[in-house]
Amino acid sequence: MMDKKQEVESLLHEWRAKFASFGKEFEVDESIDNLVKSFVELLALPQGARKNELKRFQSGFEEKYGTDARVSLCQLIIFSLFCENEEKIDYQNLPDGVVEYIKEDFVRAIKIATQGNDKILTVNNTIYNSYVEVMSFIRFPIGNQSVVVAGFSRSVIRLQSPLKMISFMRLLFSCGGNYPLYELHYNPHRMRSFNPEGWQTVMRLGAELLKLRPAIKGIFAGAWFFDPALKDISPELSYLRELIFEVGGMIFFTGSNEQAITNAFAMSKIRKTAFEKGRYNPANYLAIIPRKTLLKHFKI
């Protein structure tokens, strides 16, 4: 990506010069460097605290310098991360498949930055955040999903039947705890690979990543599409649940809410109609796969 890096370095130089128009303090390169550094440091905070701190960071900047300055800051951060980390991708001790996805996302991030969409170029936007996390090596794409370090709640056990409670405790023991694990997040820009083959790729790359990260205890994800009711309502999605069991994971009910309903209806009139007729009530389920069972499945 040598030509791309030269292009981005030119953009970074241009944006540094642009920042001088927002305030005299930005006439000094060190001030701009510290601004980007402050943002990157917030990315390292725990997931819960990070969201609020990032919003506070951005709103304070926007109040002082304006919307155009906020958009320019989000662009500057992408340009800076590209120039700083692009050459480090090959030295992150990652599976080859993950490396290729990261390189794709670095290029995609530049496209997003140069398009200048003020609705995406904000830390309140999940698309923007996902790219800067990839560029900071906090989030790792593994196909139609990406993973970040997180943990699942033990309080899920209170929603289970007695037999499921026992299964949950056994799985917790098998994992060796509920943190740290990799949490799956959907990659909307890889929608084309949201299919049985793509789901296999997610599990295989997840296993390869775990092999290189011995401290990570497994993989988990919460989603409406792990619901057993989909076997009758949307049988074409059954593979999502079935593969979890095939690779040695377990699935637990976590309740229904507005988000589950909204997500379940987003791409299907059939599911919405079934709900309206009382045949289907969307609910979220938690899938957990201990590292040793996933590694065993893929024999790695």
Domain CATH code at residue 248: 3.40.630
pLDDT confidence of residue 28: 85
174 in the same domain as 99: no
Tell me the C-alpha distance between 173 and 167, whole Å.
Answer: 10
154 in the same domain as 133: no
- Among 21, 1, 10, CA closest to 79: 10
32 is written with which tokens? 């701009």
Q: Collect all residues with Cβ–Cβ distance below 8 Å to 119 and sequence separation of at least 6.
A: 125
Task: Return the minimum-mean-pLDDT range out of 41-45, 107-111, 132-136, 183-187.
Answer: 41-45
- Answer positive or negative: Cα dihedral of 68, 82, 204, 172: negative
166 in the same domain as 114: no
pLDDT confidence of residue 49: 84
The residue out of 139, 157, 176 marking a domain boundary is 139
- Among 81, 88, 89, CA closest to 109: 81
pLDDT confidence of residue 146: 98
Q: How far is CA 248 from CA 29, 251, 295, in A?
A: 52, 10, 10
194 in the same domain as 126: no
Split into its structural domains, the chain has a count of 2
166 in the same domain as 127: no
Tell me the C-alpha distance between 182 and 193, whole Å.
Answer: 20
Query: Taking the model in full, what pTM does it have?
Result: 0.94
6 in the same domain as 39: yes
Cβ–Cβ contacts within 10 Å for residue 169, how many? 13
Q: For all residues of the chain together, what is the average pLDDT?
A: 94
120 in the same domain as 154: no
153 in the same domain as 31: no
20: pLDDT strictly greater than 90:
no
161 in the same domain as 100: no
What does the DSSP 8-state code read for residue 105? H
pLDDT confidence of residue 267: 85
pLDDT confidence of residue 1: 66
What confidence tens digit (pLDDT) does each residue in 56-103 have?
999 999 999 999 999 999 999 999 999 999 999 999 999 999 999 999
Tell me which residue range forms the domain holding 161. Answer: 146-297
The residue out of 89, 116, 139 marking a domain boundary is 139
Phi and psi at residue 45, to the nearest 5°: -70, 160
Tell me the C-alpha distance between 299 and 295, whole Å.
Answer: 6
138: pLDDT strictly greater than 70:
yes
3-state DSSP assignment of residue 229: coil
Tell me the C-alpha distance between 272 and 278, whole Å.
Answer: 10
Q: What is the mean pLDDT of residues 8-16?
A: 95
Which residues are 222's β-sheet partners?
A: 286
Q: Collect all residues with Cβ–Cβ distance below 8 Å to 218 and sequence separation of at least 6.
A: 175, 181, 182, 210, 288, 289, 290, 291, 294
48: pLDDT strictly greater than 80:
no
Which residues are 183's β-sheet partners?
A: 148, 220
pLDDT confidence of residue 2: 65
Residue type, 218: G
Q: What is the mean pLDDT of residues 24-45?
A: 89
The residue out of 94, 112, 139 marking a domain boundary is 139
pLDDT confidence of residue 183: 98
Q: Check: CB of residue 67 under 8 Å from CB of residue 98.
A: no
3-state DSSP assignment of residue 230: helix
pLDDT confidence of residue 211: 98
109 in the same domain as 36: yes
218 in the same domain as 118: no
Task: Return the minimum-mean-pLDDT range out of 44-48, 211-215, 260-264.
Answer: 44-48
122 in the same domain as 69: yes
